[in-house]
Structure 1
Amino acid sequence: MVNRRAGRPQGGPRGSTNEANALAEFLLTLTGGVTVRELAGRYHVGKTLWGEYRSGQKIIPLELLRRLVRDHTPDERTREARMETAERLHTAALVGAPPAAPSIAEPPPAPASTEPAPQAGRRRPLTLIGGGAGAVLLALLVLLVVWNPADVGSTADAPGTPGAGGATAVPLSGTGVFAIRPGGRGVFQWDGEDAAGWTKIGDAARQLWSGPAGLFATGMDHRLYRYEGRPGRWLPVSEPGADFAVGGSHVYRLAADRQSIHVWNGQGMSWTRIGGSAARLYGGEPGLFAIALENGSIFRYAGRPDQWAHTGAPGASFALTGKHLYGLTPERIAVNLWLDEQPGQPWIYAGGPAGELYGGLAGLFSTDPAGKRLRVLMALSTAAANQNWQDIGQAGAEVQVGRQEVYVLSKDRSEILCWSRDTGAWRRIGGPTQTLAVRPAPDASHAAPG
């Protein structure tokens, strides 16, 4: 039930189509508790228009809808899911077609890129379609596409051709840098050379997860698939979930209703329940952590079903490096390091104010409080006067941390940039891209910082 403030009753949706009414209900839920007067003052849109948007009589502009989602959804992972829902409902409302329609195998090809052709045998996630009616049509087609890596001509729900007889997957080779093309139109792997060195390994996908357990992707049907080591070979391993995480050799799932946590048994779609409700999951080298649904506290999985250790109070952001868990205080004024071997006072000061945290084998990274610059934590210190962040460049829409590198997807998602801890230099390695994942290859020659 939406908690709305006192005032003139909003009433039910009054749009001309079911799709417009569905968007209005979403908008009303998103802005529940906020009056049209307050919305008008904050977003400089008249009260009458807000009433029409929330009743479905008029379709809210997409950019304004996106801004509302960002402003009313502080959690990053929830924001991504809610943004996807908002765009789906908006597109359906514009074209007057139901959100769930017969699926097609692949959207029509985008116009040819004006960039130089890639080297022979390579594919790269490039080219965008133009605006106007073409963009609306492409958006609708992307919503209808299904995950189908091996056979783009099929309309089946299955994700291509799994390994013969469920055989053991081939170990991943090449770099562990993966990307999804804009609109979910293909999964690509980088060869480590230049911006042209991308090979297509799968078709339509939404999100990627990667780690020692392998490469995983959610398809357009929201199910989770594992890459079997050969282009086009993907195996379904899970029904839809609210969140997934890879920690060490294990894959974890938060149930779609967020009421239980499961671990994949390593075969087929078999999972074992290991915990109760949670808001989201964090997986990495230090293990599996979960954010409590009730109060935002963080817990660590102790390795046995329903055995979770309270780790800390709520935080604005958390990140796992190769060795440690870091947390950003709710006010975002300090970053603390968790030391589980130090009972009584396990959290110590590690760094000053930050916007968001990102971790991996290369260490801890953060944005500045304004979210415009990316920094790396250079050394631990308990002295508040010694701010340990070193500015390394522009922040982006996404940050993924590798073994000795950090990968940044630019704000407009047009470029993938790589920064090396060894050289301190940046280079462009690809783009445009919808989302990234990084799976650091084993390397004993570098000690993981942080």
Structure 2
Amino acid sequence: MGRRRIVSAAIALMAALVLPTPGVAAAGQDDKTPRSLTEIVTPRSAEALPQMRTAAVSENTLYALTPERDEVLMFDGVTWSRIGGPAAEIYAGGGQVYATSPTTGDIFWYEHETTTWHRIGGPGQQFTVDDAGIIQGLNSTGIYEWWGGTTGWRKLGGPAASIRSGGVGLLVATSITNGDVYLYAGLPFQPWTRIGGPGQDFAITTVGYFYGQNDAGIFAWRGGLDWIQVGGPAAKMYTGGNLVATSPYNGDAYRFLDAELQWEHVGGPGDQFTVANDGTIYGLNSGGVWRKAPGESGWTKVGDPAASLAV
């Protein structure tokens, strides 16, 4: 990965002004929006669930699944503690953590104040959590967002191929018809805006920078008409306080320095990386869980091997 010149969106990910959204319906178009994520879920009173609150943990708290996926663990920077399990997968952001059931696929939210897991919805095709701790879910009927309490699930749009969130309230979805990427702004009569053409993956950092990936490389979008190419091909992108990408050639991890438009090599191959809002990078390999904080030259082992990480 190296420094790349600015290229036109006509060469890479095409950006455009507001267009009708194929495959992503505007929020509010369906008056029969289900309160649960899937209409096949057993009805449950939303009033019985707590209102979402600021978690009594750092937004940089790390969560991990044990290799057997039988325990959900929380790391406060010093100590690991068990908070639940088993789980199929975990999702985190803004100090909040969610997990899916390995038997039913149902989605659960962990309330830190009472150390209780609450079932908040049925299975979904995909889940993502923004930096405010709000979870969005995707299923065959559309895109939903969960606010807890009496609000429950709120429908944001129709069916999509994939969703990604980041920052506070920032969400992008790809069209099921042509792969174009749309930004959810939540504005009346204009909830979705097309910002680019098809890509292999998209990501959003804490500060709201958008990145797209295709065969040609990694591109950044800052709200204009053009996407800026900032790197060559990558195997995977991870975002939090920074963008981290892995090389498709040797698996090494690189951090993108936005101000300099340059890449910094941060480590060797890993099975997974995750980036906290303060820019701390956590890496996972067969040797365990590793941490590299901003300004540190090396990696520090902070945990044993795990199945997956989330922060």
Task: Assess same fold via TM > 0.5.
Answer: yes
Q: Does 1:186 align with 2:71?
A: yes
Greater RCO (Cα-Cα under 8 Å, separation 6 or more): 2
Report the Cα distance in structure 1 between the residues aligned to 2:258 and 2:88, rounded to whole angstroms: 36
Report the Cα distance in structure 1 between the residues aligned to 2:199 and 2:229, rounded to whole angstroms: 14
Structure 2 matches for 1:404-419, cutoff 5 A? 404-410=279-285, 412=286, 414-419=287-292
AA at the equivalent of 2:284: L
Report the Cα distance in structure 1 between the residues aligned to 2:265 and 2:280, rounded to whole angstroms: 15
AA at the equivalent of 2:94: P
Query: Which residue is 1:370 aligned to?
Result: 249
Query: Which residue is 2:192 aligned to?
Result: 308
Consecutive unaligned residues of structure 1, counting only runs of 5 or more, are 1-164, 383-387, 439-450
Q: Tell me the CA shift for residue 231 of structure 1.
A: 7.3
Which TM-score applies when normalising by structure 1?
A: 0.53
Which secondary structure state, in structure 2, belongs to the residue aligned with residue 241 of structure 1? Answer: coil
Which secondary structure state, in structure 2, belongs to the residue aligned with residue 309 of structure 1? Answer: strand
Q: Tell me the CA shift for residue 437 of structure 1.
A: 0.7
Structure 2 matches for 1:185-334, cutoff 5 A? 185-193=70-78, 197-212=79-94, 214-220=96-102, 221-230=104-113, 232-249=115-132, 250-255=134-139, 257=140, 259-267=141-149, 270-285=152-167, 287-303=170-186, 307-323=191-207, 324-328=209-213, 330-331=214-215, 333-334=216-217
Q: Tell me the CA shift for residue 187 of structure 1.
A: 0.7
Report the Cα distance in structure 1 between the residues aligned to 2:167 and 2:237, rounded to whole angstroms: 16
The structure with the greater share of residues assigned to helix is 1
Q: 2:265 aligns with which of 372, 383, 391?
A: 391
Judged with a 3 Å threshold, the aligned counterparts in structure 2 of structure 1 residues 407 and 248 are, in CA distance, closer, same or farther, namely: closer
Q: Tell me the CA shift for residue 272 of structure 1.
A: 2.1
Q: Does 1:435 align with 2:308?
A: yes
Which TM-score applies when normalising by structure 2?
A: 0.75
Report the Cα distance in structure 1 between the residues aligned to 2:153 and 2:243, rounded to whole angstroms: 31
Query: Which residue is 2:293 aligned to?
Result: 420
Q: Tell me the CA shift for residue 395 of structure 1.
A: 2.5
Cα deviation, 1:170-229, whole Å, max 9, x if unaligned, reads 823266111111221111111312xxx311011211111112272111122211111110
Query: Which residue is 2:231 aligned to?
Result: 351
Cα deviation, 1:19-40, whole Å, max 9, x if unaligned, reads xxxxxxxxxxxxxxxxxxxxxx
Report the Cα distance in structure 1 between the residues aligned to 2:273 and 2:309, rounded to whole angstroms: 8
Provide the alpha-carbon RMSD of the alignment.
Answer: 2.5
Q: Tell me the CA shift for residue 432 of structure 1.
A: 1.5
Q: Which moved more, 1:429-438 or 1:370-379?
A: 370-379
Q: Tell me the CA shift for residue 261 of structure 1.
A: 0.7
Q: Tell me the CA shift for residue 421 of structure 1.
A: 1.7
Q: Tell me the CA shift for residue 352 of structure 1.
A: 3.0
Q: Tell me the CA shift for residue 372 of structure 1.
A: 1.6
Report the Cα distance in structure 2 between the residues aligned to 1:218 and 1:371, rounded to whole angstroms: 32
Report the Cα distance in structure 1 between the residues aligned to 2:151 and 2:122, rounded to whole angstroms: 8
Q: Does 1:172 align with 2:56?
A: yes
AA at the equivalent of 2:239: G
Report the Cα distance in structure 2 between the residues aligned to 1:268 and 1:437, rounded to whole angstroms: 27
Note if contact 1:350-1:381 (Cα within 8 Å) is conserved in structure 2: no
Q: Tell me the CA shift for residue 166 of structure 1.
A: 4.2
AA at the equivalent of 1:299: Y
Judged with a 3 Å threshold, the aligned counterparts in structure 2 of structure 1 residues 248 and 280 are, in CA distance, closer, same or farther, namely: same
Report the Cα distance in structure 2 between the residues aligned to 1:182 and 1:391, rounded to whole angstroms: 28
Report the Cα distance in structure 2 between the residues aligned to 1:408 and 1:368, rounded to whole angstroms: 15
Structure 2 matches for 1:153-164, cutoff 5 A? none
Q: Tell me the CA shift for residue 379 of structure 1.
A: 4.1
AA at the equivalent of 2:310: A
Cα deviation, 1:8-62, whole Å, max 9, x if unaligned, reads xxxxxxxxxxxxxxxxxxxxxxxxxxxxxxxxxxxxxxxxxxxxxxxxxxxxxxx
Which secondary structure state, in structure 1, belongs to the residue aligned with residue 86 of structure 2? Answer: coil
Q: How many aligned residue pairs are there?
A: 258
Which secondary structure state, in structure 2, belongs to the residue aligned with residue 204 of structure 1? Answer: coil
Runs of 4+ residues over 3 Å off in structure 1: 165-170, 379-382
Query: Which residue is 2:23 aligned to?
Result: none
Note if contact 2:165-2:203 (Cα within 8 Å) is conserved in structure 1: no
Query: Which residue is 2:3 aligned to?
Result: none
Q: Tell me the CA shift for residue 417 of structure 1.
A: 0.9
The structure with the greater share of residues assigned to strand is 2
Q: Which has the larger radius of gyration?
A: 1
